Amino acid sequence: MPVDFAMIELAGERIRSADRFLLISHIRPDGDAIGSLIGFGLALQAVGKKVQMVIEDSGISNFSYLHGSNQVIKRADGEFDLICTLDCSDLERTGNVFAPGISPDINIDHHFTNPLFAKINLVDGQAVATAEMIADFLPKWELPVTKEVAEALLTGIITDTIGFQTSNMRPSALRVAANLMEAGANLSHLYHLALVNHSYDTMRLWGIGLGNLRRKDRLIWTTITLQERESISYPGRDDGDLVNLLGTVDGIDVAMIMNEQPNNYVKVSWRSQKGYDVSQLAASFGGGGHPAASGAVIQGSFSEVQKLMIETTLSFVKSKRIGELLLKQSLGK
């Protein structure tokens, strides 16, 4: 549901009265996390606010072209009048930024699984990206959308919609993108930097993932182990957005990547075709996300988690298809 206007106004009052801001986005950041963080932070700085932008494992090298990316740090330092989380589906996604007992003042997010953990919650599950929401809020909060702000926010929208092609795209998001272009953001240039450019290290990681690719019925999956990442000296813990590529494979309903993490954890990512709500799967394992794109971090040995995820996801796909077939049979009678 759209955010209540009164809540937007209340957030604006808090923002106008505060001077020192702590902005936080989620670990293993994607383009929406980084674009939202930088876009909002630069807009606040443009009116003289003091801002710290924090991502605990600030792996933002893929977005170093954004003005202000060099300001993103891993630890907060000092005292703040207002703490805001951006694109965080739950508090755990912030890592260890918060001390026990401290909660954020404002929570801006577009994941419908968000449990509303802040004092003021601006959550819209229909928005295509948190960056879309911020771009809409800034004029209401009397904050400027400069060229640099527009570039960061448009990057967030581009990446979370995989170039305006996800099933949740809506006309209002395209209007927001057009407004950001009018503010100076170069769509074609940002699209190329965010979605087309890939590093040599990323291509090597994709080679490993594609080499491990498997299929059963209408499910495909792949795995990437710690040892495999270390063998090519890959600098991150992510899958290099390979899961988005797998989601384009013809003739499948769900794609999944199981990416081994340190300390006996596995990052699982799902992508699905329309009608397959993988956020249900993610939520059942403590994760979250969107119907077509979700993830979870699961504790356990890589072999155990792999077996469980394949069985569970395959059962999910089969049950969904059986339900569709039964529905078609009943309608055909």
Note the pLDDT of residue 238. Answer: 86
Q: How confident is the model at residue 291 (pLDDT cuts 50, 70, 90)?
A: confident
Give the tokens for residue 6. Answer: 């009164």
Which SS3 state, helix, strand or coil, does residue 109 take?
Answer: strand
**Mean pLDDT across 160-174:** 92
The predicted model scores a pTM of 0.87
What's residue 96's pLDDT? Answer: 84
Q: What pLDDT score does 333 carry?
A: 47
Spell out the SS3 assignment of 76-102: CCCCCCEEEEECCCCHHHHCCCCCCCC
Q: What is the pLDDT of residue 256?
A: 98
- pLDDT score of 59: 65
Q: How far apart are CA 38 and CA 100, in angstroms?
A: 26
Could you report the per-residue pLDDT of 225-239, keeping only the tens digit for each? 999 999 999 988 889
**Predicted local confidence at residue 288, as pLDDT:** 84
Mean pLDDT of 19-34: 95
For residue 6, pLDDT beyond 50: yes
Q: Is 188 exposed, middle or buried (0-12, 13-18, 19+ CB in 10 A)?
A: exposed
Mean pLDDT of 245-260: 95
Average pLDDT in the 299-314 region?
96
**Residue 322: predicted pLDDT:** 59
Q: Confidence band (pLDDT; 50, 70, 90) for 50?
A: very high
φ and ψ of 161, to 5 deg: -105, 5
**pLDDT value at position 112?**
85
In which band, very low, low, confident or very high, does the pLDDT at 327 lie, cut at 50, 70 and 90?
A: very low
pLDDT of residue 329: 46
Mean pLDDT of the chain: 92
Name residue, tokens 């090519």. 232
Exposure pattern of 288-316 as b/e (b: 16+ CB <10 Å)? Answer: bbbbbbbbbbbeeebeebbebbbeebbeb
Residue pLDDT, tens place only, 63-111: 999 999 999 999 998 899 999 999 999 888 898 887 666 789 999 999 9
**Mean of the pLDDT values across residues 179-190?**
98
- Lowest-confidence region among 6-10, 159-163, 283-287, 324-328: 324-328
- Indicate whether 286 pLDDT > 60: yes
Tens-digit pLDDT profile for residues 122-141: 999 999 999 999 999 999 99
Arithmetic mean of pLDDT, 194-198: 91
Domains of the chain: 5-196 (3.90.1640.10), 200-332 (3.10.310.30)
Share of the chain above pLDDT 70, in %: 94
Using the predicted structure, report yes or no on whether residue 36 has a pLDDT greater than 50.
yes
Q: Which of 113, 49, 94, 112 is nearest to 104 (CA)?
A: 94
